[in-house]
Structure 1
Amino acid sequence: MRFHSRKWVKPEDLNPNGTLFGGRLLEWIDEEAAMYTIIQLENPGIVTKFMSEINFRSSAKKGDIVEIGIEVVHFGKSSITLQCEVRNKMTRETIITIDKIIMVNLDEDGIPVPHGKTQIEYVKDRLNKND
């Protein structure tokens, strides 16, 4: 799994127990999944359709740095299915896992449309194709 972004847990991210609020972490995951999908499908018209069971395995506290890992598990006709793991950057302890996040490719009218992708592409490779 590739870890694409990091977040610093700040006081405003904490719940009353003094640990990272789960809703904040899910917001970060949803944003990361959307950005990853936008880059993969080359379309800013993306929505989250589904998230499977969310498994909270440990917590994070103020000052921790967490990193969000995303991996493609399936390319559908108009969707892409991702897997996610969030871990503590310093200890490598897993904080949360989500086995399935389905993101859908939309046209200008908000209708699901085929994206034509079948494998992961990297921006650097796209740039090299245009040379």
Structure 2
Amino acid sequence: MNFHTRKWVKPEDLNPNGTLFGGRLLQWIDEEVALYAIIQLEIPRTVTKFMSEIDFVSSAKQGDIIEIGMEVVSFGNSSITLKSEVRNKITRKTIICIDKIVMVSLDEYGKPFKHGKTQVEYVKDRLKED
């Protein structure tokens, strides 16, 4: 799993218990997965279709640094399926795992759009001159 993004847990990210608000964490995950999918598929209209069961296994508190990891599971005709793990950067303790997140590319009418991708591509490889 590649950990692409780090977030610093600030006071505005906390719930009434003083720990990281789950909704804020899901927002961060959804945004990171969307950015990754859009870059991979090269389709700006790529949206979240499905997230599997969400199980918070530990929490984070103010001042913690967390990192969001993701990994491609598979490519569909118009979709990309990923999994994600969020962990505490310092302790490496897992905060949440999501086994399946499906992102779907859409055409200008909001219908699934075939992206033609079958494997992970790296931007550095796309920029190579022939």
TM-score tier by shorter-chain length is over 0.9
Rounded Cα–Cα distance in structure 2 between residues aligned with 1:54 and 1:98: 6
2: CA distance, partners of 1:75 / 1:43: 14
- Equivalent-residue separation in structure 2 for 1:64 and 1:16 (angstroms): 17
- Partner of residue 32, structure 1: 32
Shift of 1:108: 1.7
- Matching residue of 1:115: 115
Distance 1:108 1:9 in 2: 37
Query: Which 4+ runs in 1 deviate beyond 2 A?
Result: none
SS in 1 for 2:38: helix
How far apart are 1:109 and its partner, in Å? Answer: 1.8
**Could you tell me how far 1:107 is from its partner in structure 2?**
1.2
* C-alpha deviation, 1:43, in angstroms: 1.2
Letter in 2 for 1:11: P
Q: CA deviation at 1:117?
A: 0.4
| Pairwise CA distance, 1:54 | 0.6
Count of aligned residue pairs for this structure pair: 130
**1:85 corresponds to which letter in structure 2?**
E
RMSD: 0.7
Letter in 1 for 2:10: K
TM-score (norm 1): 0.97
Whole-angstrom CA distance in 2 between matches of 1:97 and 1:87: 9
| Structure-1 residue corresponding to 2:56 | 56
Is 1:17 the counterpart of 2:17? The answer is yes
Q: Is 1:125 aligned to residue 125 of structure 2?
A: yes
What amino acid maps onto 1:26 in structure 2? Answer: L
Distance in 1 separating the partners of 2:4 and 2:44: 18
Separation in 2, partners of 1:80, 1:59: 28
Unaligned runs of 5+ in 2: none
Offset of residue 55 of structure 1: 1.5
Secondary structure of the corresponding residue to residue 117 of structure 1: coil
* Aligned-partner SS, 2:29: helix
Give the percent of matched residue pairs that are identical in Structure 1 and Structure 2.
77
- Unaligned runs of 5+ residues in structure 1 are none
Instruction: Return the alpha-carbon distance in structure 2 between the equivalents of residues 6 and 111 of structure 1.
Output: 33
